[in-house]
Amino acid sequence: MRVLVTGGAGYIGSHTVLLLLEEGHDVVVVDNFSNSSPESLRRVAALCSRAPRLYRVDLLESEKINQIVRDLAPDAVIHFAGLKAVGESVAKPLSYYRNNVTGTLNLLDAMESAGCRNLVFSSSATVYGESTELPLVETTQRSATNPYGRTKLHIEEMLEELAAADERWSIAALRYFNPVGAHESGRIGEDPQGIPNNLMPYVAQVAVGRREQVNVFGGDYPTVDGTGVRDYIHVLDLAAGHLAALDYLTDRTGSFVWNLGTGEGSSVLEVIQAFARAAGKDVPYQIVDRRPGDVAENYADPVKARLELGWKAERGLEQMVQDMWRWQENNPYGFPEEASDSYDNDELNEQLLKAASTVQSSSKPNNEGNQK
Ligand code: NAD
Ligand code: UFG
């Protein structure tokens, strides 16, 4: 199958591109590198000895997106591209609506005019707002508490309306819980710019010595140890969920939604302790005030995805922190710095083919052939 992956150079995208290539799919990535670099894809190509085709392009450039989708005629699209920082979305709501909502509209227009109507969309457990009905099931009422969350909510609604209006569309919205971890090679992983907003990358940077201590936001929640509880999910399990959703859409139309979580909650202190064991060192922390907008506890009901997609998360917290630590220890400052416009598209694609062919593996030397 030819799969177009928007935001494929990012954290979840790069892991999913790797699985798609390993499964023999023909992969095309579009990314503007606003929160990533081409290095993630060079490493993906080296890991699996196959290269995706890459376009540096912004989803807001509607003409270019139209042309790419028309020329490449993908069988399906996985849409990761978007901005994702909650705090930043409060400060810059318009750029979130423009990038996430308008970017998605441009993509849908391009797909419609190319006759490609299979879409897997990155939604988020953020659409459950401040719901306290646990576990969170797909039928829980949706709400938003910040502009980022509202972009996900609007897009989910838009997609449902589109599928209701035209029965040729097949659309999956996947609601991720808290993606963490990295590929077991330690070659690709999450590379947050600036101070990490999320717990796990922050803990990893403390463990590697880049930051002094973890600020634990609140120690008086009604939870197992007073700290916030979340459903952490290994990024490779999450990536596998996308392949399962693609498969499901192959012979169905309509719009569908699934939680992608483990169904298990872990507290902030449990995460810190697990990470300290994996890294073999203390991870200093202090309890500080609660972070405004945080809920005490949230975890998925993952049953719908298990029954309908045949998917479930396989990796537990210990493996998540071990893989995260391997990535962080091998790449303490993430991917090497690179000016986002250092190379044009032809050069980028040559680099990917070269990376794919420099590994010892004898199989699949380039991105031709071996397609599903
Ligand atoms: P990421 O920032 O690592 O990846 C997003 C990618 O999209 C980046 O490579 C970025 O350069 C690209 N991008 C952004 N805007 C673009 C645009 N207009 N045109 C082209 N490319 C663009 O983030 P991620 O963690 O991999 O998240 C992927 C998706 O999953 C996002 O939509 C995010 O909202 C959603 N999500 C993430 C989490 C999480 O905690 N990581 C949780 C729930 C949902
Ligand atoms: N936390 C800390 N210290 C930190 C960072 C986080 O104690 O430095 C705590 C939080 O208070 C929370 C837990 O760690 O209890 C997890 O926080 P994250 O920021 O890692 O994740 P959230 O669950 O708050 O948010 C994530 C995504 C959002 C998404 C939300 C919806 O980052 O984009 O899940 O489920 F909207």
Structural domain includes residue 320: yes
14 lines ligand 1 (CB under 6 A): no
pLDDT digits (tens, 9 = 90+) for 285-325: 999 999 988 999 999 999 999 999 999 999 999 999 999 99
Domain count, the chain: 1
Structural domain includes residue 267: yes
Structural domain includes residue 371: no
> Any idea what the CATH number is for the domain that residue 234 is in?
3.40.50.720
Structural domain includes residue 241: yes
Tell me which residue range forms the domain holding 175. 2-339+348-356
pLDDT digits (tens, 9 = 90+) for 160-213: 999 999 999 999 999 999 999 999 999 999 999 999 999 999 999 999 999 999
Closest residue by Cα to atom 34, ligand 1, is: 84
Structural domain includes residue 367: no
5 lines ligand 1 (CB under 6 A): no
Residue 269 exposure: Cα atoms within 13 Å on the Cβ side: 12
By most ligand atoms within 8 Å of CB, the mutation choice from 100, 156, 198, 288 for ligand 2 is: 198
The secondary structure element, H or E, covering residue 33 is none
pLDDT digits (tens, 9 = 90+) for 37-89: 999 999 999 999 999 999 999 999 999 999 999 999 999 999 999 999 999 99
Neighbours of 283 (CB within 10 A): 19
Structural domain includes residue 361: no
- From the number of C-beta atoms within 10 Å of its C-beta (0-12, 13-18, 19+), residue 72 rates as middle
Closest residue by Cα to atom 33, ligand 1, is: 84
Structural domain includes residue 372: no
31 lines ligand 1 (CB under 6 A): yes
pTM recorded for the entire structure: 0.96
Tell me if 113 sits within 8 A of 167, measured CB to CB. Answer: no
Paired sense of beta strands 229-230 and 266-267, if any: antiparallel
